[in-house]
Amino acid sequence: MGKFALIALIGFFVLSCKSMEGEKAIELPKLAEGIRERPPAVERLPEFRLEEVEVSPLFTHTISLHMRAVPLRDVLFVIARDAGLNLIIESGVDPERSVTLVLERVKLKDALEALFSTVPYFYEIKGNLLIVKALDTKTFRVRAIPVSQTYSVEVGGDILGSVMPQTGGVLKGVVSRSEKSDDEAYKLWDALQKALGLILTSPGESFVINRLSGTVMVTATKPHMEKVERFLKELNLALSRQVLIEAKVIEVTLNKAFRYGIDWGYLREQTSGSWTLQGEIGARDFISTLPTASPFSQLRLHFLKTGRDLNVIIKALSEFGDLRTLSNPRVSIMNGQTALLTVGRSINFISRVETTTTPETGITSYTIETSSLLSGLMLGIVPHISEDGEISLTITPIVSNLIRLKEVSFGTQYTIQLPEMDLRELSTSVKLKDGEILLIGGLMKKEEKEQNYGIPLLKDIPLVGEFFKGRALEESNTELVIVLQARVIS
């Protein structure tokens, strides 16, 4: 059995070898003519190129100087020779000016700065040239807004309207305040030109002003150039100051308990701020003279406490009656610029009628003139910010309320409209520190309205309804309060 298995294994091995000899080799297809295998990519290193950079001797060369009462010419010659520089001295430079200088192993730039801090000249290094000159030209920028503006305020007037008394003459009661911006102060470029003319007085000095781009090119000696730099630096600092004004113009409809006005003492206790009262504004809307102790004479409350929250004061004011916010401006104003806020309705009315009749034709033509008025609020603010952060404000609030347009007839067919207005106005100038709060109050108004009342249903019965209803005058007092906070932001 074992022999038979061995013979079968040998036979299977022989047959396998013959089948392998009969297999053909596999041939790869030939590449078409004209197509060649791509050679392997060769990595190329990036080319590095060394650029020649010119190194200034100002920061690389070290020098030592021991000079005592030596002419400037000789000092410059020693520096130029030691640093390998050529020397040019322009006209206007005094080469015989005496110089005393002791320096030990300092950089060339430091040596030149020390030398030229003792003489009124400029220096410049161009390539291998050391140039010394008496005049230099520099360009400065002025941060001015290219806008021309004017500001004027006029409040108050003749409270009696120049009435004619029976005894003759004119009876007047004039209380007025007028302010106007300094036109010369607002002409910045004219003032700058005049100031530079007073500084640059040496021969060869000049300046050119470009108002549109806000640039000033100055050619001057070193002492005068330093004065111009200091002057323009202070000017730019003053022009770049800004103040953030957050104000609330509130009308308080007073409760009956406070019909004479807001109790400022109670308000002080609620807000816990140090304060002063100043009654500097005349009560323009009252005929009779008010006593000093009257609440109406307290027309301005100034809080000196810093860091107060406006919401705390608003909440305290709500204790005196219903609040109505007329305006809530929040505006940034640049130093010396004017901010004007107007909120309300502009109303036109016929103020003048003129007739012209042609004799030949008998045709009558009419010429009508109209005027406009504002029923609402106008608030003007002009800030001036000092270098220590103190803010001077000129504030003018004006509140007008149109009652009606009364028609007045003249002749047989002509009618014009005359407005009846409630007017409350005030103008004052105050100083605040950064973050302080200012309250302006005392502008009161009294209104009387006819109120109908009666028994429901019965008052509507014809004829007998009059016995079940009545009329009464309802009186309300309102006070205008302006809460203002100023913060310097730049």
Query: Which domain does 206 fall in, by range?
Result: 135-152+182-240
Q: Is the model's pLDDT at 167 over the cut of 60?
A: no
In this prediction, residues 196-220 reach a mean pLDDT of 94
Instruction: Report the candidate in 438, 152, 394 with the shortest Cα–Cα distance to residue 278.
Output: 438
Q: How many domains, in total, are found in the chain?
A: 3
Is pLDDT larger for residue 52 or for residue 423? 423
426 and 436 fall within a common domain: yes
186 shares a domain with 196: yes
How do residues 339-373 score in pLDDT, each as one tens digit?
888 888 888 887 777 778 787 777 777 787 888 88
| Most confident of the ranges 278-287, 290-299, 405-414 | 405-414
pLDDT score for 301: 39
Same domain assignment for residues 365 and 416:
yes
Tally of CA atoms within 13 A in the half-sphere of 484 that contains its CB:
30
Residue 432 lies in a domain: yes
Reported confidence tier of residue 280, pLDDT bands at 50, 70, 90? very low
pLDDT at 147 over 70: yes
Inter-helix orientation angle 108-116/72-83, to 10°: 170
Q: Do residues 363 and 442 both lie within one domain?
A: yes
For residues 177 and 254, the model is more confident at 254
Considering the domain architecture, whether residues 313 and 393 belong to the same structural domain is answered as: yes
Judge contact between 63 and 80, C-beta under 8 A: no
The band of 455, judged by pLDDT with boundaries at 50, 70 and 90, is confident
Which of 78, 104, 134 is at the close of a domain? Answer: 134
Amino acid identity, residue 313?
A: I
**Among the listed residues 361, 360, 439, 359, the one whose alpha carbon sits nearest the alpha carbon of residue 397:** 439
- Same domain? 141 vs 129: no
Residue 148 has pLDDT above 90, yes or no: no
Which residue did the predictor score with more confidence, 477 or 471?
A: 477
Could you tell me the pLDDT band of residue 439, with boundaries at 50, 70 and 90? confident
pLDDT of residue 141: 94
Does residue 224 share a domain with residue 81? no
pLDDT in tens, 117-136: 999 999 999 888 999 999 99
Same domain? For 67 and 143 the reply is no
CB 108 within 8 A of CB 58: yes
* 231 and 358 inside one domain: no
Residues 218 and 251 reside in one and the same domain: no
Buried b (16+ CB within 10 A) or exposed e, 437-451: bbbbbbbbbeeeeee
Q: Are residues 210 and 348 in the same domain?
A: no
Residue 218: which CATH number? 3.30.1370.120
- 8 domain-assigned: no
Same domain (yes/no): 325, 427: yes
